[in-house]
Amino acid sequence: MEDLAQLGQRAQQASYSLGLLSTMQKNQVLLAMATALTTQQDEILAANAKDLENPQVPEKFVDRLRLTADRIEAMATGLKQVVALPDPIGNVDRAWRNEAGLMIAKERVPLGVIGMIFEARPNVTVDASALCFKTGNAVILRGGKEAIHSNQALVQVLRGALRANDVDENAIQLITDTSHATAEKFMQLTDYVDVLIPRGSARLIQTVLAKATVPVIETGAGNCHVYVDKDAQLQMATDIVINGKVQRPSVCNATEKLLIHQDVAAAYLPSMIQALRDQGVEVRGDQATQAIVPDVVPATDADWGTEYNDLIIAVKVVDSEAAAIAHINRYNTQHSEAIVTDNYQAGKIFQQRVNAACVYINASTRFTDGFEFGFGAEIGISTQKLHARGPMGLAELTSYKYVIDGNGQVRH
């Protein structure tokens, strides 16, 4: 078993010097990393080939796992985009003089050491490293065993760029022992790791939540609803539901449920369901939906809490906006929820009462994304209320400290 305490100690040590780097120094390293990815492409592809040769890799992972020259180029481009982003470290949120005459400044600082736990996508290795580095955080990566050779090669390239720029290479470390026992120990490395960010399947995230003693930022689960109000425009509602469901069904901000007000269900559902079916979507419905469109698949209770991540949607007829809100607050994952309505009151009540990170009026749930929000980056989408909620960019990878200037003040 790897000596995780030593790994943690090295990360913590590196984090102290990372917090002192200027934005210019950090950007220089990020550009060097981008160049190194391109020049060392052959080594990366060779390592990736080893991963792909492994007969135990499930077929559905092969595409996520595969690296190509284009994909490596995309990683390098991603690094350059991070260079262009403003650095939140050193920003002062506010500063004020207190009654005793102390000048108190609330200054943004790195979180310290971030643990990333993820699955088979090797691009996460580069993305996460870049975002953590730009915010002065050390990162410890624990990727899926399927991608171990690719991840080792990528981390070697990134660490080479750190060394070449006289930056502590332990800013980026990879756990190479991909056993569950080591992963569990990692999740409990409270002396050295400030926060864990799991990225991947609901199962991975639930495991981390159950086993971790290090604080976790819960990400990713999205059982997102669109509620079509009685004052909705049919065409707008159809466009929003179709976009939410079919544009990219495998992701967490995809629409999984359609709630519709009973006053418009009979008029709207036949064409909306037809539009969904035209896109290859399996439509499941409650009894009221079945009464209107008899050939939908009957929905069971289990459907309401399920995130399909697939071309499936469940439809429920509700007798009021209040019933829609109650249903959402009971079954949602606090990710993204939308109402379609032309009624001002209905829209504002929905935004106020629905308990979720992002609540939309008249827009697709698919907009919940760091890039769409204009953050220029995304390390994940938080579904918890503590620290960060919704899309997390660079700002969400920071903490703060109070720096206080006095001239001999003592407390009375």
Contacting positions for its own copies (CB under 8 A): 16, 19-20, 96, 98-100, 102, 104, 111-112, 190, 194-195, 209-210, 213, 215-217, 233, 236, 239-240, 242-244, 247, 329, 347, 351-353, 355-364, 366-368, 372-374, 384-387, 389-390, 399-411
User: Shortest approach of its own copies to residue 244 CB, angstroms?
Assistant: 8
Q: Identify which of residues 167 and 240 has a Cβ nearer to its own copies in the complex.
A: 240
DSSP 48: H
Q: Identify which of residues 186 and 375 has a Cβ nearer to its own copies in the complex.
A: 375
Q: Identify which of residues 280 and 408 has a Cβ nearer to its own copies in the complex.
A: 408
Q: Identify which of residues 159 and 335 has a Cβ nearer to its own copies in the complex.
A: 335
User: Shortest approach of its own copies to residue 154 CB, angstroms?
Assistant: 27
User: Shortest approach of its own copies to residue 145 CB, angstroms?
Assistant: 26
User: Shortest approach of its own copies to residue 64 CB, angstroms?
Assistant: 21
Q: Identify which of residues 194 and 256 has a Cβ nearer to its own copies in the complex.
A: 194
User: Shortest approach of its own copies to residue 361 CB, angstroms?
Assistant: 5
Instruction: Return the structure tokens found at 28.
Output: 């220089």
CA separation for the pair 255, 246 (Å, rounded):
8
User: Shortest approach of its own copies to residue 329 CB, angstroms?
Assistant: 7
CA separation for the pair 360, 378 (Å, rounded):
20
DSSP 388: -
Q: CA-CA-CA-CA torsion for 264, 265, 266, 270, nearest 10 degrees?
A: 120
Q: Identify which of residues 76 and 196 has a Cβ nearer to its own copies in the complex.
A: 196
Q: Identify which of residues 19 and 160 has a Cβ nearer to its own copies in the complex.
A: 19
Range list of β-strands (E), 232-303: 255-261, 282-285, 297-298
Q: CA-CA-CA-CA torsion for 159, 160, 166, 168, nearest 10 degrees?
A: 20
CB burial class (10 A; 0-12, 13-18, 19+) of residue 367?
Answer: middle
Q: Reduce the DSSP state of residue 107 to 3 states and report it.
A: strand
State how beta strands 380-382 and 390-392 pair: antiparallel
Q: Reduce the DSSP state of residue 300 to 3 states and report it.
A: coil
**Residue 236 in contact with residue 340, Cβ under 8 Å?**
yes
User: Shortest approach of its own copies to residue 363 CB, angstroms?
Assistant: 3
